[in-house]
Amino acid sequence: MSKILLVEDDSTIIRSLTTFLHTEGFSVTSVTGQTEAINSMGAEIFDLLLIDLTLADGNGFGVFAAAKERNLPAIFLTASGDEYSVVTGLDMGADDYISKPFRTRELVSRIRNVLRRRGTSQKTINLGHLLMDVEKGLGLKDGADLYLSALEYRLLLVFINHRGQVLTRSKLMDEIWDLAGEFVNDNTLSVYIKRLREKIELNPTEPTIIKTIRGTGYKMEV
Read out DSSP for 123-161?
-EEEETTEEEETTTTEEEETTEE----HHHHHHHHHHHH
Q: Which residues are CB-contacts of 162 (< 8 A; sequence separation ≥ 6)? A: 220
What pLDDT score was predicted for residue 76? 93
Pair 122, 1: CB distance under 8 Å: yes
What pLDDT score was predicted for residue 40? 93
What is the pTM assigned to this prediction?
0.59
Q: Nearest to residue 62, comparing CAs of 103, 27, 83, 31?
A: 31
* 6-17 as b/e: b if 16+ CB within 10 A: bbbeeeebbeeb
What pLDDT score was predicted for residue 175? 75
What pLDDT score was predicted for residue 209? 93
What pLDDT score was predicted for residue 84? 81
What pLDDT score was predicted for residue 174? 78
What pLDDT score was predicted for residue 101? 85
What pLDDT score was predicted for residue 183? 61
What pLDDT score was predicted for residue 6? 97
Pair 155, 176: CB distance under 8 Å: yes
What pLDDT score was predicted for residue 87? 87
What pLDDT score was predicted for residue 180? 46
- How many Å separate Cα 137 from the centre of its chain? 13
What pLDDT score was predicted for residue 129? 87
pLDDT (tens, 9 = 90+) of the chain, 222 residues, equals 788 999 999 999 999 999 889 888 888 999 999 999 999 998 888 999 999 988 989 999 999 999 998 889 999 998 766 788 788 888 898 899 998 888 888 999 999 889 888 775 556 777 888 888 876 778 899 889 999 988 888 889 888 878 888 999 988 887 776 554 556 788 889 999 999 999 999 999 999 999 999 999 999 987
Q: Which domains does the chain have, with CATH numbers?
A: 3-118 (3.40.50.2300), 124-220 (1.10.10.10)
What pLDDT score was predicted for residue 218? 95
